[in-house]
Amino acid sequence: MLTVLESLKLSTTFLENKGIESARMNAELLLSHILNCKRLDLYLRFDQPLKPNETNIYREFITRRGNFEPFQYIVGEVEFYGLKFFVDKNVLIPRQETEILIETILENISKTDELKILDIGSGSGNIPISLAVNLPLSKVISIDISAEAISVAEKNRELHDLKSRIGFIKTDILTNNLDKYLNTFDVIVSNPPYVNKQEFATLQKEIVDYEPEIAVTDNCDGYKFYKAISEKSRNLLKENGMLFFEIGHGQSEKIKNIMSENGFEKITIIKDYSGIDRVVFGVKR
């Protein structure tokens, strides 16, 4: 039977040979997940022998990570805005940058109003759920083209007990004008697929091989969704309603123009922690 330390050493070497960055950290995080302890607590348990079932699961996890499967899909969960979310290969892994989108919305709306919010591109449900938790009077509709993503989002809605305030709808924002919802929303938010067709092939193996392609790239110039959503949001927002986007590196000026051409004003850009323009928002004129 291998001890914790022996297992960590073998796994680290295996991951290093496969070209995984931060191999030791990955080995530690996966083992701490299996042993249900904090990563640093492993250091107090170096001599502890692993049980046969723990070794088997660890071997499976390390093999998957060695094939570049993202850590979050292997353990099946991720933390976003202080909340737990289930994830699998059908949804984009929520990114830290997207927390800035949530923060920006919370800082720029009235928390005491009964806001009606539309989220476009549900994924794991991280955006509608984080907003609903932090805006207890709000009601959110969240749409996604992927039925599989919506199943994951519904599981997360159940985890956070928000069925009465969040509705998920499977539909394509590029073809559906959501006419039923004219002048309905106070806030529209989207973190759409924004990587262009050429750039997609150059992304990390973890993303290209495992994350859903329709969640990452618009298979076009990177602006397809910003154009469609800005145009449609005009009709869906109430007077003075606000549109919030997460954006990719280098996209801010063009998206600002797209929003302006579609009748938005007071357009504001917010940077992320690396100083990159990450969120754009504006008010319906």
Ligand X SMILES: C[S@@+](CC[C@H](N)C(=O)[O-])C[C@H]1O[C@@H](n2cnc3c(N)ncnc32)[C@H](O)[C@@H]1O
Q: Which residues of the shown chain bind ligand X in the complex (CB under 6 A)?
A: 92, 94, 98, 121-123, 126-127, 143-146, 149, 172-174, 191-193, 214-215
Ramachandran angles phi, psi of 255, nearest 5°: -70, -35
**Residue 25 or 100 having the CB closest to ligand X:** 100
DSSP state letters, 140-202 = EEEEES-HHHHHHHHHHHHHTT-TTTEEEEE--TTT---GGGTT-EEEEEE----B-HHHHTT
216: exposed, middle or buried (Cβ count in 10 Å: 0-12, 13-18, 19+): middle
Euclidean distance between CA atoms 141 and 158, whole angstroms: 15
DSSP, residue by residue, 81-144? TTEEEE--TTSPPPPTHHHHHHHHHHHHS-TTS--EEEEE--TTSHHHHHHHHH-TT-EEEEEE
With beta carbons less than 8 A apart as the criterion, state whether 72 and 52 touch. Answer: no
